[in-house]
Chains A and B, each alone.
Chain A
Amino acid sequence: MDRIPILKMGPFLLVTIQVDLYDRLALSLENDLITMVSNTGARGVLIDISAVNIVDSFMGRILGNIASMSRIMDAETVVVGMQPAVAITLVELGLTLQGVHTALNVEKGMDLLYDKTDLLTTQQQEENEEELDDYND
């Protein structure tokens, strides 16, 4: 059976959806992600949908479910890369993606996750250490 790969990147999980999701694939992604959050203690989930052409209410509900489940497990969810045509369609369809954070692209999504989870990026950590070193000198 097909599976959508989930990558671990520091404190976060990263998912890139590259195929049109059919229902069973979407449901197994939901399940796999929550299991991964539990096993890794991830603090955030980033889902890139830049290759997704269609988000219907079923798919929207899956994204919402992932966000709600992650939240009760202390992880934030950010959906990034939505195509303009998909955004226009979602609004007209009436789907609000409640509880899901969104960002324009992966880079901004990662920033948002660090922000939402009060974690420091590796760059910020290095800067902090430098400051601390300066202080100690």
Chain B
Amino acid sequence: MTKDTMQIVREQDVVPFRNRVRELSTKIGMSLVNQTKLITAASELVRNMLKYANGGKIILEIISKSGQSGVRLTFIDEGPGIENIAQAMQDGFSTGRSLGLGLPGAKRLVNEFDIKSVVGAGTTVTVTHWKHGR
């Protein structure tokens, strides 16, 4: 299965990253709506990473489970971490004067969402979206 890593260090890395996610989801035949959801979620998460942790790395892979394929993205940063994950997952909560839709919005857009964070060590967010979107 395909697996690569992208380093995200500046804002200009966002568009190539989104294009790479599009390539992978097109490759497994994901519908346009599901592609758009996944890329939008990815865009929110990569922005968070840049904003709060000055970037990080993303692992992009095509995975398969019981005959269905999907795209999995793992966002790994070594930023300050999130003190209160439950709070960060609430709509409208933001420490960065944004709309506060990034994390909860991204979670709604993908099939599987997992977040782990250690204060002072960094945050890892993993999202998975299946070809047929469930």
Q: Which of A's residues lie within 8 Å of B, judged by CB?
A: 20, 22-24, 53-58, 60-61, 83-86, 88-89, 92-95
Contact = CB atoms under 8 A, between A and B. Distances in A.
A61 to B, nearest CB: 6
Q: How large is the interface on B (under 10, 10 to 19, 20 to 34, 35 or more residues)?
A: 20 to 34
Given A54-B36, A54-B39, A89-B40, A94 B108 contact: yes
Interface in B1-28: 11-12, 14-15, 18, 22
Contacts of B47: 56, 58
Contacts of B32: 85
B98 A58 contact: yes
A58 B36 CA distance: 15
Q: Which among A60, A92, A95 has the highest number of chain B CB atoms within 10 Å?
A: A92
B119 to A, nearest CB: 25
Contacts, number: 68
Contacts of B12: 22
Interface of B: 11-12, 14-15, 18, 22, 32-33, 35-37, 39-40, 43-44, 47, 91, 98-99, 101-102, 104-106, 108-109
The prevalent SS among residues of B at the interface is helix
A39 B109 CA distance: 41
B36 A53 contact: yes
A123 B95 CA distance: 51
Nearest to A53: B36
Contact of A94 (B22, B91, B98): B91
Given A22-B11, A57-B99, A93 B91 contact: no
A53 B18 CA distance: 10
A61 B36 contact: no
Contacts of A84: 33
Contact of A57 (B14, B15, B36, B101): B101
A93 B40 contact: yes
